[in-house]
Structure 1
Amino acid sequence: MSLQFSVLASGSTGNAIYVEADGQSFLVDAGLSNKQLGLLMAKIGKSMDDLSGIFVTHEHSDHIKGLGVAARKHKVPIYANAKTWNAMDTLTGEIPADQKFHFETDTVKTFGGLDIQSFGVSHDAAEPMFYVFHHNGRKLALITDTGYVSDRMKGMIRDANAFVFESNHDVSMLRMGHYPWSIKRRILSDVGHVSNEDAALAMSDVIGDQTSRIYLAHLSRDNNMKDLARMSVQQTLESKGFVIGDTVSLFDTDPINPTPLTAV
């Protein structure tokens, strides 16, 4: 079986990504209600009851809102690092001990022919981390919720066949918007979220010969728009010599509609 994925939902209202390979199927985050997650899974022909596990990136509510109910109702194993487990302790309700597994930062877990590699990001959470999936020479890299993309992060995700990449905000929209300055400062900081332009600059350093698809993720509802994000990223990448739509294509994600289940 090929490595396949769908961005079920992405944005400040909730995040979840479905990944499958080699007879294993996983969610990365469960940031919507269990009911919503089930409906989104059904749209791509999948069921919450068939999940092999859920990998948690960090404890913010838009990433774990449905985690506790999903764990209890569907008896699904949950994977997170120790600091994230501690931070989630009062947020998810009780999760049975035999469903709680540790997946520490900068480690690899293997499920059949699928290798999942965790790496740290820069965000205002206990110990945020994201994941790279490897299967049969194919590579899927997921990176959102980071204030910047370090050289170390770039090394982890470089030359993926497909990226789900944060493109959170347009800086001008954010600065001119209605958010309190304290919130604007947090978003713009090194532990906030990357802008369209900064995301594209990071992409220009990690796109490789094998890269064909980039999904722009975690767009701000108030400080970004799909068309603006895509245009900004495309312009920046083209200024770096990439021909978008030729070998590399950009794709939108959505807060309430999943992307089609796609092979990496």
Structure 2
Amino acid sequence: MQASEGMAGTNKEGAEHMKVDIIASGSGGNCIALTYEGRTILIDAGVAKTKIAKRLLEVGIRPDQVTDIFITHAHGDHIKGLPLANQYRIPVWATDGEWKGISGVDEELRRVVETRFSKYESIQLGDIWVYPFKTHHDAYEPIGYAIEADNGSRACVVFDTGKYDQDMLDMMEGSIYIIIEANHDPDMVEASNYPISVQSRILSDLGHLSNQQTAEALQKLIRGNGERIYLTHLSSNNNSPILAEMTVKAALRQKGFIAGTHYEIEVVST
């Protein structure tokens, strides 16, 4: 699988959807580029800044065209490339809690994802709206993002989370692009040589989504409207691309949806 995959289309009115490029995905680092009307935002920057810049250029995006970087949480495989922000003067958005784990970003580039009445406030960037929402991971204040263009095309990004809940599903509802982790197979985790403490963390509600959990979430989200599913953040030791893909396809087949007819699916492991 190549490191970067792009997709753009048109809606019923003929306006372009946003373009999705998977810059990096997996245990080694995660970074998503979303482009609409010439504006590119990154969700996470988890590989070296030189690698992000190179892969952006490979999909036709200059690094200085990135207008904002949104961080889901401050683990290394999601923030390693943040020096890119200082180099290209890109604002970086993260929750107040996650800023506790982020250093080295120039003060004038730091932006806080704010809450109001215990809900995260939406962020408008020209023709794009960003809707942060709570996730469940062993970080200070982790979040996912739904991103909607003014023409109604919507994407959602859910990386590290040990479970999904109704609030998350509500924010993901209606997305054309669903970028979601399918991290592990529980049986493979339990059979691994990982210490019991690490196994317990992965399998906990503050760990990572299993293939089956992801499949269950997608059963609730997919409507057969040509959605594009990207399965990301696969464990290199406790999963396989074919297993993740087959688990999701089987679950969606139970709902009467067939890959290539009602939706598209791509497993990204880089």
Q: How high is the TM-score relative to the length of structure 1?
A: 0.91
Contact (CA 8 Å) 1:141, 1:164: kept in 2 or not? yes
Taking the aligned partners of 1:22 and 1:85, their CA distance within structure 2 comes to 29
Displacement of 1:239: 2.3
Taking the aligned partners of 2:164 and 2:38, their CA distance within structure 1 comes to 32
Out of 140, 152, 158, the residue aligned to residue 143 of structure 1 is 158
One-letter code of the match for 1:224? N
Question: What fraction of aligned residue pairs are identical, expressed as a percent?
Answer: 34
Taking the aligned partners of 1:208 and 1:167, their CA distance within structure 2 comes to 20
**Cα deviation 1:83-103 (Å, max 9, x = unaligned):** 111222xxx32x222111112
State how 1:49-88 maps to structure 2 within 5 Å.
49-67=64-82, 69-88=83-102
Residue 212 (str. 1) matches residue 227 (str. 2): yes
> More displaced, 11-20 or 231-240?
231-240
Taking the aligned partners of 1:223 and 1:239, their CA distance within structure 2 comes to 25
One-letter code of the match for 1:87? G
Number of equivalences: 250
- The answer for the alignment partner of 2:5 in structure 1 is none
Taking the aligned partners of 1:157 and 1:28, their CA distance within structure 2 comes to 15
Contact (CA 8 Å) 1:22, 1:112: kept in 2 or not? no
> More displaced, 98-107 or 146-155?
98-107
State how 1:87-236 maps to structure 2 within 5 Å.
87-88=101-102, 92-93=103-104, 95-104=105-114, 106-135=120-149, 136-236=151-251
**Cα deviation 1:139-163 (Å, max 9, x = unaligned):** 1111121101101111110121110
Displacement of 1:211: 4.7
**Cα deviation 1:140-199 (Å, max 9, x = unaligned):** 111121101101111110121110011111111111111111111000000000110111
One-letter code of the match for 1:253? V
Contact (CA 8 Å) 2:49, 2:84: kept in 1 or not? yes
Contact (CA 8 Å) 2:226, 2:264: kept in 1 or not? no
The higher-RCO structure (CA 8 Å, 6+ apart) is: 1
CA RMSD of aligned residues (A): 1.3
Dislocated runs of 4+, deviation >4 Å: none
Displacement of 1:104: 2.6
